[in-house]
Structure 1
Amino acid sequence: MACVEAFKAEFTRRKVFFQDAKQRELSAPRLTYSLFVCVLQFCSHQGWVLGHTLFRVSAFLFTLITVIVDDATADTYGLSYFYFTRWCFLCIMIYFLFASISSVYYLCTQRAMRRKLADSKANADSSETAAQENCKTAPKTKEASLLWFMKIQWVFYNIALPSSAIVTIIFWGLLYNGWLITFHSFTTHVVNVILMITEQYISSVNTRILHIHHTAIFGTAYVLFTVILWSTTGTIVYPIFDWGTSPALATGVMFGIITMYIIAQFLLFFISHGLEVCAKRYERVETDFEA
């Protein structure tokens, strides 16, 4: 089965260090069947690329404004940054920042590539051989390796996608007891996962199994933060992380969260692989995307 082969192919060194990815995977939109039909009905592919870029930019601005407004209006005096929810929301904001940069870069390079290709064809000799030679020398952005900001983007994607789901599940399943939901709480426990699920569906970013170390480092860093905070100031961020009174419970919760991240990584990989398979059936080559 293709799914089994894709699973086996994940366990290579190239998958860990971003050596098998191209720029297009981090910056271009994904076309599944339903999106393919919608794009053909309402806009060109170039319009869909622009719409995808606008979504990422809008998501970044929305998350940035949400954080700024919360810091300006809440009476927490910076204590909100002690919470795991805020850490995850900041990861979403940072992800969309670098994702926006990647999309704008892709949009600009694609336009430059089409202009150069058009100029090459216009200046080419009438012979077919000369025309083909000019086409071969045109830049191919989709074959380029990842740039540094795309690697940062992928790291935060690996953290933000499972974290948004885990935070939402824990909040509504374990913590919520019927209190009034504020705009900030709704944004950080509902809109967060909507943004990331939408991003996963419409973007070409894939989940790699061996990227689990990104979420492991993130989760471990937060646990160490709660330990340092408790040992130095006596502050207990969550009752389940009371290292003084219930260290066994805190340790169990820590391993429980790590287990959730591991399970989420495998689930997201299979979802990502399914979306990639669907997208390849309807994906057009770059030369067919001209306006």
Structure 2
Amino acid sequence: MSNKMIKTYKKELKLSNCGFDHDPVDSMVRSQWQSRSKNNFYLVYRWLVAIFVIAVVIVSMFSHVEKYSFGLFFIYLTHWGILINMVVGVFGAILVTVWHFHSDFKENVLKNSEMPTAFKIYWALHNIALITSFAVTIIYWSILHNDKIPLNAPNILSHAMNSVIMFLDILIVAYPLRLYHVIQPICFGVSYGIFSFIYYLCGGVNILGNPYIYNVLNWNEPGKAMVTVFGTLILAIIVHVTLFWIYKLRVFVQRRYFSTQLILPTKVPKQQRLNSSLGSQISMVFGGDDGCTNDAFKISSEKMCK
């Protein structure tokens, strides 16, 4: 492991990265690749994602109820995954829409030092949806799928396209992926494991009438079931760390090849304008008294010194 990777891990594993504090706050409602706070393309993208994940749930539900009981739809981890994808997709589209069209909300968020609760919830749900999608895809195609299962549209949408759309999202969004946040998908996975155990104790069956949801999660064989639970949690950690480095690569590429500096307009506070009129000579380019430096010149001068 290189020294650079070790430094990255040390920086990332600071306790300050455990929570949901992040600056700038507007990264939760913008793309990594846009230079302005609002972008029409990103707004359209978020609604396209929302429509797609809603369609995946509808197609999967209709495909299920054609053959099986509607209630059994909700016992499978795959369906938990696409449902949370739908929540994240719609929630994200609503947040970006509000940010785009309600300037009062935007100004209040930028003025406050703390991230809004809605942003924190969205961030956590996105982390869960991201890792769950990849875990479901990997486990399904490597362990559960067989020749008897039809390779149809609902199957592809819920076991492959779920990961494709979430991978695309991690390449586009602006907010970070924190290593400590792996606890969120882990808690989600543990919750499903507890649910499957309670379902077994209550005499629940799967769509084939077997007394378990998945054959690899059969609580008639608790040792085998526990291996599946812990193996899935380890897989979630591996996926999370891998996606963390993809996030770091995204940031590197954007800053290295697409970074643009916003030149801020010159703004002089009212009191300083009054002082200027009384004789204080404030340069509109280089700055003035009391250390008031023009932001635009400051950015430019820093570039020249590099």
Q: TM-score normalized by structure 2?
A: 0.73
Aligned twin of 1:121:
none
Partner of 2:172: 202
Amino acid at match of 1:269: F
Query: Match for residue 50 of structure 1?
Result: 40
Q: Distance in 2 between matches of 1:160 and 1:242?
A: 25
Distance 1:158 1:204, change over 3 A: same
Structure 2 letter corresponding to 1:74: H
Displacement of 1:65 after TM fit? 3.0
Match of 2:236 among 238, 261, 269: 261
Task: Show CA shifts across 1:203-260 (max 9, x none).
Answer: 112210111110111000000000000001243100111111x111111111100101
Aligned partner of 2:58 in structure 1 is 68
Q: 1:13-32 to 2 correspondence within 5 Å?
A: 13-31=15-33
Between 140-149 and 18-27, the greater mean CA deviation after superposition: 140-149
Q: Which has the higher helix share?
A: 1
Where do 1:81-100 residues align within 5 Å? 81-100=74-93
CA distance in 2, matches of 1:185, 1:259: 25
Flag structure 2 segments of 5+ consecutive residues without an equivalent: 206-211, 265-306
**Structure 1's 239 and 64: CA in aligned 2 closer, same or farther, altered over 3 A?**
same
Change (3 A) 1:219 1:140: closer
**Which residue in the other structure is 1:275 paired with?**
250
State the alpha-carbon separation in 1 of the partners of residues 255 and 99 from structure 2: 19
Contact kept in structure 2, 1:23 and 1:143, CA below 8 Å: no
Report if aligned partners of 2:30, 2:38 keep a CA contact under 8 Å in 1. Answer: no
Residue 162 to residue 243, structure 1, CA distance change in 2 (3 Å)? same
Task: Rate the CA distance shift 1:89–1:287 in 2: closer, same or farther, 3 A.
Answer: farther
Q: Deviation string for 1:134-183 (max 9, x for gaps)?
A: xxxx9894986422221111111111112111211122222222332222
* Aligned partner (choices 209, 214, 220) of residue 238 of structure 1: 214
Which of 115, 124, 139 is the aligned partner of 1:146?
115
Equivalent runs, 1:78-157 vs 2, <5 Å: 78-108=71-101, 141=110, 145-157=114-126
Once the two structures are TM-superposed, the CA of residue 184 in structure 1 deviates from its matched residue by 1.3
Q: Give the Cα separation in 2 of the matches to 1:80 and 1:139.
A: 41
Instruction: Give the whole-Å Cα distance in 1 for the aligned partners of 2:16 and 2:249.
Output: 21
Structure showing greater Rg: 2
Aligned-pair identity (%)? 23
Please tell me the root mean square deviation across aligned C-alpha atoms, in Å. 2.8
The answer to whether the Cα contact below 8 Å between 1:23 and 1:142 also exists between their aligned partners in 2 is no
Summarize the Cα distance change of 1:287–1:57 in structure 2 as closer, same or farther, 3 Å threshold. Answer: farther
The structure 2 residue matched to 1:177, chosen from 146, 149, 166, is: 146
Contact 2:88/2:125 (8 A) holds in 1: yes
Q: Please tell me the residue identity of whatever aligns with 1:258.
A: L
Read off the aligned partner of 1:171 and give its amino acid letter: Y
For the residues of structure 2 that align with 1:197 and 1:5, how far apart are their CA atoms? 26
| Amino acid corresponding to residue 175 of structure 1 in structure 2 | L
Tell me: higher relative CO, structure 1 or 2? Use CA pairs within 8 A at least 6 residues apart: 1
- Indicate conservation of the 8 Å contact 2:30/2:173, yes or no: yes
- Residues 161 and 139 of structure 1: is their aligned pair in 2 closer, same or farther, counting only changes over 3 Å? closer
Matching residue of 1:252: 227
Residues 142 and 174 from structure 1, CA distance in 2 versus in 1: closer, same or farther, beyond 3 angstroms? farther
Q: How many residues are treated as equivalent by the alignment?
A: 251
Where structure 1 has 5 or more consecutive residues not aligned to the other structure, the ranges are 37-44, 114-137
Question: Take 2:193 and 2:19, find their aligned partners in 1: how far apart are those partners?
Answer: 25
Change (3 A) 1:226 1:269: same
Q: Which residue of 2 aligns with 1:128?
A: none
SS at match of 2:202: helix
User: Using the alignment, how far apart are the partners of 1:143 and 1:96 within structure 2?
Assistant: 26
